[in-house]
Amino acid sequence: MEIADNITDKNNSNNGGETEENTRTKHKGKHKKDKPWDNENIDHWKIEKFDPSWNESGMLEVSSFSTLFPQYREKYLQECWPIVKGALKEHGIACELNLVEGSMSVSTTRKTRDPFIIIKARDLIKLLSRSVPAPQAIKILNDEIQCDIIKIGNLVCNKERFVKRRQHLVGPNSCTLKALEILTKCYILVQGNTVAAMGSFKGLKQVRKVVEECILNKMHPVYNIKILMMKQHLAENPALVNENWDRFLPKFKKKNVKQKKVTTKEKKPYTPFPPPQPPSKVDMQLESGEYFLADKKKQAKKWQEKQDKQAERTAENKRRREEAFVPPEEPARQDPRATDDKNDVAAIASSLKKKAKELRMQRSAEKIDAEAYIAASDKPSAKKKSKNS
């Protein structure tokens, strides 16, 4: 009887375990229900405007931020500070411009209701210190606009290379920067060792990528602009919204890459013995016998060497000084009579050649006898006779 009771107890226990497992599997997905905010009509990325009724009691503690500004911004900040102060006063933020220390500071007050507005005020004074105009910097107080200050000064060590790459980012007449602003819908300002950008989170991410790739020489900004234009064109097509765009985007490769020349050292034949030790100064004196000379003789020898060197130097200096007094070689003068004689001889030779040429032409044409031609030339002409008579 006891054995039978034990068997029944085991069966009951097994059945109880199965029922427990069934109950667990039944309630496994009890939390996976449709929530009221899981609706396609709700935009979860939308930033709602702050309502002061959400925080009527105000801030419990005072939060403050301060930043330094360069000296060349002092005059402009003095002029625009009333505008900045009025914009921050609307949000219950106190601001101070310290010209002695060269700093700007913002802090919360009892009238502050929005807890995040102090972060926005901190970004505002940062943008002002980075040469962003005050009307543009005040826009950062809006909830839809964010800012990013990209440090580019420490990305490149060489100063000339850094200036050249920064100019690539700006482009001729700031064309590259304007195109980047239109595509990313952000305000971009390149100033010194930083790039200040204002816009949406998506645009700021694209701007940071383009700037860092340009300064690190990974990709020229023009190629990144082409890629952004292709993405903008693909986003307009509703059929390609949820597809991968890698097959449509262009892929650029570097062509002119300077490769380091591998320097191979010539291996010398292995010898187990060390190289011979070079002779010391004492060894060289022992070989020449100078080591055994007396001190007076050593000094006399040194003095004689010094005198010889000095004599050589004086002779060389004297030769250089005398070179200035050596007269230059005059060009040889030519006798004008000799040139006249040469000209006369040349004129006679040319006249004889001309006459010989005329004679050959007459012979070929009329076959006249040369003697008769010469005799006729010797006789005086009829006109001359008439004149003489």
Give me the pLDDT at residue 13, please: 47
Whole-number Å distance between alpha carbons of 14 and 196: 70
Give me the pLDDT at residue 26, please: 55
Give me the pLDDT at residue 339, please: 55
Whole-number Å distance between alpha carbons of 47 and 201: 12
Determine contact, residues 66/105, Cβ cutoff 8 Å: yes
Give me the pLDDT at residue 4, please: 46
Could you tell me which residue, 312 or 294, shows the higher pLDDT?
Answer: 312
CA distances for 342 relative to 223, 293, 385, angstroms: 78, 80, 37
pLDDT (tens digit per residue) in 247-281? 787 787 766 666 677 777 788 888 888 888 899 98
Whole-number Å distance between alpha carbons of 104 and 73: 12
Give me the pLDDT at residue 19, please: 46
Give me the pLDDT at residue 371, please: 58
Determine which of 204-218, 223-237, 272-286, 338-352 has the lowest per-residue pLDDT on average: 338-352
pLDDT (tens digit per residue) in 18-69? 444 444 455 566 677 777 777 777 777 777 888 888 888 888 889 999 999 9
Q: pLDDT-based confidence at 199, cuts 50/70/90?
A: very high
Amino acid at 21: E
Whole-number Å distance between alpha carbons of 158 and 91: 44
Could you tell me which residue, 5 or 48, shows the higher pLDDT?
Answer: 48
Predicted model pTM: 0.55
pLDDT (tens digit per residue) in 152-182? 999 998 999 999 999 999 999 989 999 999 9
Give me the pLDDT at residue 380, please: 53
| Domains of the chain, start order | 52-143 (3.30.1370.10), 146-254 (3.30.1370.10)
Q: What is the mean pLDDT of residues 100-119?
A: 92
Q: Label each residue of the chain as H, E or C.
A: CHHHHHHHHHHHHHHHHHHHHHHHHHCCCCCCCCCCCCCCCCCCCCCCCCCHHHHCCCCCCCCEEEEECCHHHHHHHHHHHHHHHHHHHCCCEEEEEECCCCEEEEEECCCCCCCCHHHHHHHHHHHHHCCCCHHHHHHHHCCCCEEEEEECCCCCCCHHHHHHHHHHHHCHHHHHHHHHHHHHCCEEEEECCEEEEEECHHHHHHHHHHHHHHHCCCCCHHHHHHHHHHHHHHHCCHHHCCCCCCCCCCCCCCCCCCCCCCCCCCCCCCCCCCCCCCCCHHHHHHHHCHHHCCHHHHHHHHHHHHHHHHHHHHHHHHHHHHHCCCCCCCCCCCCHHHHHHHHHHHHHHHHHHHHHHHHHHHHHHHCCCHHHHHHHHHCCCHHHHHHHC
Q: What is the mean pLDDT of residues 219-236?
A: 89
Give me the pLDDT at residue 2, please: 44
